[in-house]
Amino acid sequence: MSPKRLFSMVLASCFVCVGAGDALADATITGSVKLDLPGGKKPRRKKLKMAADPVCNAKHDAPVASDSPAIVDDDGALHNVFVYVKTGLEGKQFDVPSEAAVLDQKGCIYKPHVMGAMAGQDITVLNSDGTLHNVHPKPQNSKEFNKAMPKFMKKIKISFAKPEVMIPIKCDVHPWMQSYVGVLDHPFFAVTGEGGTFELAGLPAGSYTVEAWHESERIGTMTQDVTVADGESKAVDFTFKVKAKK
């Protein structure tokens, strides 16, 4: 290979390096969410009463505990917390995933109880129950709608036009059915489960406010500020305290 050709190859690869460096977006924020449990006492989850619909009732061998007011592991790890970048991404554009998010109605319970999607992203709502459900979100920023899903209707597609944390979704047929979807104009969100951990990966370097949201008013929301550089991973932990009853 001629020195000239070698030089142009090195030059070309350097341009690639610089280009890739600009678009690295490989910062990560991880962490965990806990609920302070004085005396180790966990919030009591009521048993759901599904007798009003025999189809729902027949789906379970034993009474099912409600997802509300909170699911907490013995060590305080808190489930169903929507953790997301609240500020710091303004002015940046992110592609809406072509893949739909999925919300199932199974055993007359929403699965998952808390989820996220991007504004404009399709959300496939499944009816795995063979009974009538209706999908009734109550957004403030996007249009409210109410779609019946008779027992033969297995799948519908919904979406929300505008970001909003959080949009409650209810089924008017089964009053115990409640879920929440967090809608954002970027993909940096997570929902805690077993262990209460979360990860927001693929972030551009920057300074962010991260919010942790829980459905219970007595738990509420917390924020933390964090700055991450390209390739850096930082941990932020949230510990909620149960607020006194109003």
CA 54-55-57 angle, to 5 degrees, is: 60
Supply the minimum distance, in Å, between the C-beta of residue 232 and Cu ion.
45
Collect all residues with Cβ–Cβ distance below 8 Å to 93 and sequence separation of at least 6. none
> In the complex with Cu ion, which residue's Cβ is closer, 56 or 83?
56
> In the complex with Cu ion, which residue's Cβ is closer, 109 or 226?
109
For residues 228 and 50, the answer to whether their CB atoms sit within 8 Å is no
Task: Pick the closest to residue 81 from 151, 180, 12, 158 (CA basis).
Answer: 180
> In the complex with Cu ion, which residue's Cβ is closer, 83 or 171?
171
At 18 the three-state DSSP class reads helix
Q: Write the interaction track for Cu ion spanning residues 175-194; mark x where CB under 5 A is met and - where it is not.
A: --x-----------------
Say whether residue 59 binds Cu ion (CB under 5 A).
no
Q: φ, ψ for residue 86 (rounded to 5)?
A: -90, -45
At 154 the three-state DSSP class reads coil
For residues 223 and 237, the answer to whether their CB atoms sit within 8 Å is no
Say whether residue 173 binds Cu ion (CB under 5 A).
yes
Supply the minimum distance, in Å, between the C-beta of residue 154 and Cu ion.
14
Selected range binding Cu ion among 25-33, 60-68, 132-140, 224-232, rule: CB under 5 A: 132-140
Supply the minimum distance, in Å, between the C-beta of residue 133 and Cu ion.
3
> In the complex with Cu ion, which residue's Cβ is closer, 112 or 196?
112
Say whether residue 174 binds Cu ion (CB under 5 A).
yes
Task: Pick the closest to residue 158 from 130, 138, 129, 178 (CA basis).
Answer: 138
> In the complex with Cu ion, which residue's Cβ is closer, 79 or 133?
133
Cβ neighbours of 30 (radius 10 Å): 16
Rounded Cα gap, residues 149 and 41, in angstroms: 39
Which one of 133, 170, 186, 214 is in contact with Cu ion (CB under 5 A)? 133
Which one of 27, 109, 171, 191 is in contact with Cu ion (CB under 5 A)? 171
Q: Which two tokens stand for residue 182?
A: 């967090």
Residues touching Cu ion: how many (CB under 5 A)? 5
> In the complex with Cu ion, which residue's Cβ is closer, 96 or 132?
132
For binding to Cu ion (CB under 5 A), which residues are involved? 133, 171, 173-174, 177
